[in-house]
Chain A
Amino acid sequence: MENRKERRQKEKESKKIKKKLDSENPTMSFQYEVNALQGFGPIINTYITITDEHKKLLEQSELPIPEPIRCRFLIDTGAYKTLVKHDIAEKSAIKLISTINPIQGIGVDTSGKSYIGRILFICESKRVPGAKHNIYVDTEIASGTLNDNKFIDGLIGRDVLQHFEIRYNGKTGKVVLVYQKK
């Protein structure tokens, strides 16, 4: 009898927590030194990984599931699509779909390829201490040389940013990304 009562209590609590989490707009805050933010732009660490459909196929084939790869991404409102370096795309094992994808930045990078993958953000809940939100956007991800620069692994473009509200405060160095639920 006691067990049933305890179970009910636990179920009630977890429903309450789920409700709280569902009612929250997941928010990620980043604090930068003002000059660094102006000079380098907002660079964040987050993950690239395969989509659920791709994962399911790997599981069915009893193949290993690749771990998400943590990368340094520049939040780039000027980029039409999300882009990573070639080696990151290969390491993350996202699905290659095209080998023609010229990328225009400074000149044109003709080595561009296209993949389907997932950009994954993990952020702490403000309403439920200790709980985390897994936010993701499945999208076409381009790969390129990114001029071999050492500071970033990729760019988060408007295909992903369209799901967020972005607050950029150049005076304080604070950047906030608020996920907009569907």
Chain B
Amino acid sequence: MSERLEKEKDYFVKNMIEWSKTHLYKFALIKEESLVGVYNTIQDAFNAGLSKYGLDDFFIKQIIPQETINVSFLGQNYAILKH
């Protein structure tokens, strides 16, 4: 069985560079292999996804190349305590 949102993820990765030329920092709403819309906020994209697809899966991601979430405070203390 394939992982949830795998198709959408691949579609986003494939097209993200192209979309970033015109929609940088906006939020893409994707269902299967189709870009449903581009929104200014994640909340707008989420509300659009809920109203179109209800409880079904849909994919939202900000159009930023190579985004990582920085949680720098998860530093030495927790790494040491773990061991």
Contact = CB atoms under 8 A, between A and B. Distances in A.
Are A and B part of the same complex? yes
A155 interface: yes
B69 A81 contact: yes
Interface string B65-81: 00111111111011101
Interface string A15-55: 00000000000000000000000011100000000000110
A127 B3 CA distance: 50
Given A83-B71, A100-B12, A112-B69, A140 B61 contact: no
B57 to A, nearest CB: 7
A92 interface: no
Interface residues of B, number: 34
A81 B73 CA distance: 12
Nearest to B4: A96
The interface residues of chain A, by DSSP majority, are classed as mixed
A103 B71 contact: yes
Interface in A127-182: 138, 140, 142, 146-152, 155, 157
Nearest to A100: B9
B79 A101 contact: no
A3 interface: no
Interface in B29-80: 42-43, 46-47, 49-50, 54-55, 57-61, 67-75, 77-79
Contact of B59 (A74, A97, A103, A105): A97
Contacts of B74: 76, 79, 105-106, 146-147, 155
Contact of A57 (B43, B55, B57): B55
A151 B46 CA distance: 32
A96 B42 contact: no
Interface of B: 3-6, 9, 12-13, 42-43, 46-47, 49-50, 54-55, 57-61, 67-75, 77-79, 81-82
28 contacts: A40-B77, A41-B73, A41-B77, A53-B47, A57-B50, A61-B55, A78-B72, A80-B70, A80-B71, A81-B71, A96-B5, A97-B5, A97-B49, A98-B60, A100-B12, A101-B69, A102-B67, A102-B69, A103-B68, A105-B70, A114-B61, A140-B42, A146-B74, A147-B78, A151-B78, A151-B81, A155-B73, A155-B74
